[in-house]
Chains A and B, each alone.
Chain A
Amino acid sequence: MAALSSTPSSLTSRLRRLDLGAGVVGLRFLGTAAGFVLGNGEIVLVEAEETRLRAHHGAVLSVASDARRILTGGDDGRVVATRGDGVAEPLAEQKGRWIDQVASATDGGFAFSAGKTAHFRPVKGEARSLDLPSTVGGLAFAPKGTRLAIAHYGGVTLWFPNAQAKPEVLEWKGSHRGVAWHPEGRFVVTTMQEATLHGWRLPDGANMRMSGYPSRVRSMEFTAGGRFLATSGSAEVILWPFGSKEGPMGKQPVMLAPRDVRVSCVAAHPKDDVIACGYEDGLVLMSRLADGAEILVRAPGASPVSALAWRGDGGALAVGTEDGAGGLLIL
């Protein structure tokens, strides 16, 4: 990225400010449109114009996306798919339940959970479900195929919904909440109720503990190609090296963009080793891994950054905060 230099610079004047009216709980790009998912059940699609639509009759509890649509799970018991043209279509409903988690597969299939049950809906074929020992804390499809990682109390269950085989359980004591796959499928990492991450190396299931955070990690994302796992939870972005087969064990994490305020949200650039970092005071900056160069994107505001997303080609960055302020930066 030629725009980054080693001297501090600022793009704050180029950030288009948006007043979204409700807290942003998720952000996904659909082509060139930034989709701001709001806690109140609305989605605002922003290109030149803003299109506001209602996806849920209540709060949105989880957000996922594939290339064509944003999937949301709500406390109205519905899974809704929203397309870039502004059409929201309900995909599944569990009356009287909360849809706690949603995940999308690359082929258009999806999964969701309500309480202790994970449900899989393939593009073609039979819908399946799996009961877990406790409420599902996180859901994620493997980068290829339809293997589903399901985080819960006591570990992660790896499930091939289309196979008869018994799901594999990766055990680790404690409550596992978010879950992510390494882009090459070699590692599975969870955020825990405690201020720590846990990971497993596949296929041998070796445990990896990543600790030292002052607060719970809410946001994590692998960088392009899976070289690093960028995480929130500390007063700088903590990046664990995942470039080698061993993963981060025995290695020191890289730290970027230190401040006296905690990082609340991270988003990795889809192509380059650049991280967008959002902080609890609303500030957003971009930082380059190679030399730590920083560019300010958003000045501090009234509330924490709750969502960040890069456009698929890396040419735009969208920002959302807990109090419903938004921003869109076209690079």
Chain B
Amino acid sequence: MSDTQSGKIPVTVLTGYLGAGKTTLLNRILSESHGKKYAVVVNEFGEIGIDNDLVVGADEEVFEMNNGCICCTVRGDLIRIIDGLLRRKGDFDGIIVETTGLADPAPVAQTFFVDETVGAKTTLDAVVTVADAKWLKDRLKDAPEAKNQIAFADVILLNKTDLVTETELKDVEMRIRAINPFARIHRTQRSEIAIDKVLGQGAFDLDRIQAIDPDFLEGGHKHFHDEDMQSFSFSTEKALDPDKFFPWIQELTQREGPNILRSKGILAFKDDPERFVFQGVHMILDGDHQRPWRADEAKLSRIVFIGRKLDRAALEKGFLSCVA
């Protein structure tokens, strides 16, 4: 795991609408014997059935940053809690942050990019969303929070699958895919899942962005379109010009940041033997060279956006205008 190599403590953000099975999953993670110890930041005490001196209550205080960026919000309480937990470094292997069922995951995720200490000492491992297989379809219609949680997820537990038929299950999976094409979906009952499918995902780790779902790139998800949340991907086999790409993506995320929930890309720049990978949360972007392109892989530049009110044609035109 790259987080242990870098010495950074991995943080998993656990989201999910009310009643989806978040607490059950948390209790499972804490009670199973996997030889690891986790510090847990919860929004409500008392729901955790495990005696653990590293369970901390949070206040869900969302702070705006004075950096001229209206969507740049962070969780102030989380910054303080992680500062405090870092003083007990060595007592635990990872941190799990549970959010309330109605929480927007963006401020939590942005905290790990915006605060220097938190960013230097911890690494956001993945946003894990627990979804109720029976009720998710309804929540996607009436609860924007539920949709945000799906859009933000790196890993989705489609839970309570025993309460629906296989046909219903496929239907809800396609609705999830229509919102978020790059999350890994696991079908579960009573939140039962191998811990290594939830923790240690490295989903925000640039070294681990291996691929963007080829099915998605080939348009294999056309069965459903969400009325509100959009996901677009574009690709080109022509090398990109970094002097065109960076100004474009920066201007785009500055302007459209509030509407872009997540972005990811794997890019081939002209005369550059290495893959460049990036990902973003709203206006915040993180990117780096990852590794040399292998001889057997196509130098294909791919980019994905998940968001609302996005102009597909303008995004595509903008991306393709970055060709060298």
Contacts and interface: CB of A to CB of B under 8 A. Distances in A.
Interface residues of B, number: 25
Of the listed residues B79, B85, B88, the one surrounded by the most CB atoms of chain A closer than 10 A to its CB is B88
B116 interface: yes
A39 interface: yes
Contacts of B88: 39-40, 58-59, 75
Contact of A40 (B45, B61, B66, B87): B87
Interface string B181-216: 000000000000000000000000000000000000
Given A40-B87, A75-B88, A116 B59 contact: yes
Nearest to A23: B87
Contacts of A75: 56, 84, 87-88
B76 interface: yes
B87 A193 contact: no
Given A59-B87, A193-B79, A98 B66 contact: no
A10 interface: no
B255 interface: no
**SS class of chain A's interface: helix, strand, loop or mixed?**
loop
Contact of B76 (A98, A173, A193): A193
A134 B45 contact: no
Contacts of B64: 173-174
Contacts of A125: none
Contacts of B115: 193
Q: Which range contains the number of A residues in contact with the other chain?
A: 20 to 34
Contacts of A116: 59
Contact of B66 (A25, A60, A134, A194): A194
A192 B81 CA distance: 17
A174 B64 CA distance: 7
Nearest to B74: A193
A185 B76 CA distance: 29
B105 to A, nearest CB: 20
Interface string B15-46: 00000000000000000000000000000010
A215 interface: yes
Contacts of A40: 87-88
Interface in A52-102: 58-61, 75, 96, 98, 100
Contacts of B63: 153, 174-175, 193
Given A23-B87, A193-B115, A194-B66, A175 B76 contact: yes
A185 to B, nearest CB: 27
Contacts of A134: 59, 61, 76
B87 A135 contact: no
Contact of B87 (A25, A215, A216): A25
29 contacts: A39-B89, A58-B53, A58-B88, A59-B85, A61-B84, A61-B87, A75-B56, A75-B84, A75-B87, A75-B88, A96-B57, A98-B56, A98-B84, A134-B59, A134-B61, A134-B76, A135-B59, A135-B61, A135-B77, A135-B80, A137-B80, A153-B61, A174-B63, A174-B64, A175-B63, A193-B79, A194-B65, A194-B66, A194-B67
Interface of A: 23, 25, 39-40, 58-61, 75, 96, 98, 100, 115-116, 134-135, 137, 153, 173-175, 192-194, 196, 215-216
Interface of B: 45, 53, 56-57, 59, 61, 63-67, 74, 76-77, 79-81, 84-85, 87-89, 115-117
